[in-house]
Chains A and B, each alone.
Chain A
Amino acid sequence: MKPLSAYIDGIGLLGPGLANWPEGRDVLTGGRAFEPAATQIPPPTLLPPAERRRTGRVVNLALAVGLEATQQGAANVASLRAVFASSGGDGDNCHAICETLASVDRQLSPTRFHNSVHNVTAGYWSIATRDTEAASVVSAHDASFAAGLLEALAQLAAEPTDMLCIAYDVDYPSPLREKRPIPAPFGVALLLRPERTARSLSQISVSIGSGAAQAVARPDLEGLRRSIPAARSLPMLELIARGQAGNVALEYLQPLQLTVKVVPCP
């Protein structure tokens, strides 16, 4: 296959001890110590006030990183195709539904139910930005980031206009947490463009390879990469942060991995 290429014009990042892309970039370049701390998810100020109280952490996380990436890239959010990628969506909401259904009175709240769809993030994003373009929402368990990136690049190849790719995961509450031990919320958003602009950070060219996925060079971040599907993006973000050219193998579905060639745009 011919590699699928795009320019990354904006990055949103939010994770434990990673408050945004500028901070995350400094951690990834080694200019700043990684100090693990609870992920601070801001309230969804993009949404109309009436909708804000209905959203959970997963929506707030996706909106926050999406907003950071699109602001950095000065994207027109009202006409932006988007791909959302998440292993399991809203675990808090899922837990609450299962508790209610296991109780004597099974009355679910309508908001709980409509928030249970995997595309709840895409729905609120489109409402917040009045974006009527197509949005897709994919899951591939631990390979969700690579699956989302591949889907976004295939869409970009089909129609060369701006694309937003948002990957996010939140930790489950107990008892699902013991079955799926995601330690903390982590989100990353990439604003992808078909052509280079003054805002372009790096060009990526993606193809499908095989073999083992690469670790993060910073060993203290490797734990995040291994335990949170969206953080499987970190080896690529590390190259971009350092302004380095190189190839990196991201975790995808066995026996495949995603080979990403990164070329910085100085």
Chain B
Amino acid sequence: MRPLALSRLTATSCLGTGLAATLDALQSQRGGLAPCRFETAKLDTCVGEVPGLGDEPLPSGFAPFESRNNRLAWLGLRQDGFVEAVARSAARFGPRRIGVFLGTSTSGMLETEIAYQHRNPQSGALPAEFNYAGSHNCYSVAAFTREALGLEGPAAVISTACSSSAKVFGAAQRMMAAGIIDAAVVGGVDSLCLTTLYGFHSLQLTSRLPCRPFDAARDGISIGEAAAFALLEPVAPAESHLGIGLFGFGESSDAYHLSSPHPEGQGARAAMQRALKSAAIDPAAVDYINLHGTGTISNDIAESLAVEAVFGRDIACSSTKGATGHALGAAGALEAVICALALKHGFLPGGLNLQVLDPACRVRYLAHNCPAIVQYAVSNSFGFGGTNCSLIFGLLD
């Protein structure tokens, strides 16, 4: 594929609000995970919560979209001049020529969970103020973002669990290549809710401690939340973009199990190989892999086998989920932004919470940041349902 420019980026997670705070946390190797105090959850686990989200506003006139997920989306969109950059793009191309493709796994599920706690004791009805389309529906965050940004082009939510907001980059690239749109807002927004907290707990996949990807003693994930966005545009004169591009993407399915990865990482391997093919680069050209690295026993071993098979044992890699937690449907976009920061600022982010690297994971896993000139970085996102997506970002000339 022809590279696309990431004209504007932003990310908000437990590491901080906006790019500067995110970069500062990464460069000082500071994580954002803390014991879970979320809502009424009584679980012995850590989460990566974005503080103060309950009080964050929506734009006036957007009351039907009230939900934690859309509040997080709006908080994220308002950072780093993102709204203004989209407005410039809309002025240039026209609001119908800009797509909105966002990933989420749980959308406004939290509001539905709360509504079920307040059913009418006689009729069983949900509270009158519960708005299905604005909060619960899978599409609501893309509807909100499209309207809040004043866009009128094609849009969709891609919801493929934890690969959702990686796959949106591919969907947008195809729409641009087909001439349906000229530019796209892509990203992911996923927020804490009881379903994922109790659900991952039921699968015994949540750790009591801040998650420890690739550690020999790792024992599960820490759930996080995030809003991360990118404005994808054709590569134009250098002054109009950040110097970072989307160079390739690859997708595959495990066809193996709903909630366990293929043990040898076959699907992960295919996704990485297809991404390299679409970018038309050799594995040796890649300097860094931001791993899916959830911290579950099965993911990390399967992913390391896949990485080893495609890139060999010397490829530098790490998972940043020890810092951010697993932002699920927003993880792909959040980690895409982290890759872009690594490219732009010339460093490889170390993975937090590693004490002893699992000897079965035969890759060069970075426990500490190191300076490096990064030409190409790969970001891996895999999910329930056996869905896999790898993205390749690089420096534009």
Contacts and interface: CB of A to CB of B under 8 A. Distances in A.
B333 to A, nearest CB: 16
Interface stretch (A62-70, A138-146, A185-193, A240-248): A138-146
Contacts of B387: 119, 122-123, 135
A253 B136 CA distance: 18
Interface stretch (B246-254, B288-296, B340-348, B352-360): B246-254
B179 to A, nearest CB: 4
Contact of A126 (B117, B203, B383, B386): B386
A60 B138 CA distance: 20
Interface stretch (B6-14, B52-60, B125-133, B317-325): B125-133
A113 B124 contact: no
A2 interface: yes
Interface in A213-266: 252-256
Contact of B142 (A107, A130, A135, A140): A140
B116 interface: yes
Interface residues of B, number: 65
B381 interface: no
Q: Helix, strand, loop or mixed for chain A's interface?
A: mixed
Nearest to A97: B195
Given A87-B137, A118-B138, A126 B157 contact: no
A101 B384 contact: no
B96 A256 contact: yes
Contact of A102 (B113, B142, B159, B383): B113
B145 interface: no
B138 A139 contact: yes
A120 B105 CA distance: 12
Nearest to A107: B202
A171 B326 CA distance: 31
Contacts of A254: 152
Nearest to A158: B174
Nearest to B203: A110
Contact of A139 (B159, B177, B178): B159
Highest count of chain B CB atoms <10 Å: which of A87, A88, A134, A254: A134
A2 B177 CA distance: 11
A151 B383 CA distance: 20
B350 to A, nearest CB: 31
A256 B124 CA distance: 38
Contacts of A115: 258
Contacts of B385: 117, 119-120, 122-123, 126
B256 interface: yes
Interface stretch (A10-18, A22-30, A36-44, A175-183): A175-183
A87 B138 contact: yes
B186 interface: no
Nearest to B256: A127
Q: How large is the interface on A (under 10, 10 to 19, 20 to 34, 35 or more residues)?
A: 35 or more
Highest count of chain B CB atoms <10 Å: which of A2, A127, A139, A158: A139
A116 B136 CA distance: 13
Contact of A147 (B117, B156, B256): B156
Given A158-B178, A175-B125, A134 B251 contact: yes
Contact of B126 (A86, A117, A176, A252): A176
Contacts of A109: 202
Contacts of B203: 110, 113-114
A108 interface: yes
A179 B258 contact: no
A127 B386 contact: yes
Contact of B143 (A102, A118, A119, A141): A141
Interface of B: 96, 105, 112-113, 115-117, 119, 124-126, 130, 132-133, 136-140, 142-143, 146, 152-161, 167, 171, 174-175, 177-180, 194-195, 198-203, 251-259, 266-267, 270, 383-387
22 contacts: A98-B116, A101-B194, A108-B201, A108-B202, A110-B259, A112-B199, A113-B198, A117-B105, A119-B161, A119-B387, A122-B253, A124-B258, A126-B254, A127-B255, A130-B255, A140-B157, A147-B154, A154-B171, A158-B174, A158-B177, A252-B154, A256-B96
Given A97-B199, A139-B157, A158-B177, 17 more contacts: A97-B195, A101-B113, A108-B198, A116-B195, A117-B160, A118-B161, A123-B386, A127-B256, A132-B253, A136-B171, A138-B157, A141-B139, A141-B140, A150-B154, A154-B174, A157-B177, A256-B153
Interface of A: 1-2, 4, 54, 86-89, 94, 97-99, 101-102, 106-110, 112-120, 122-124, 126-127, 129-141, 144, 147, 150-151, 153-155, 157-158, 174-176, 178-180, 208, 252-256
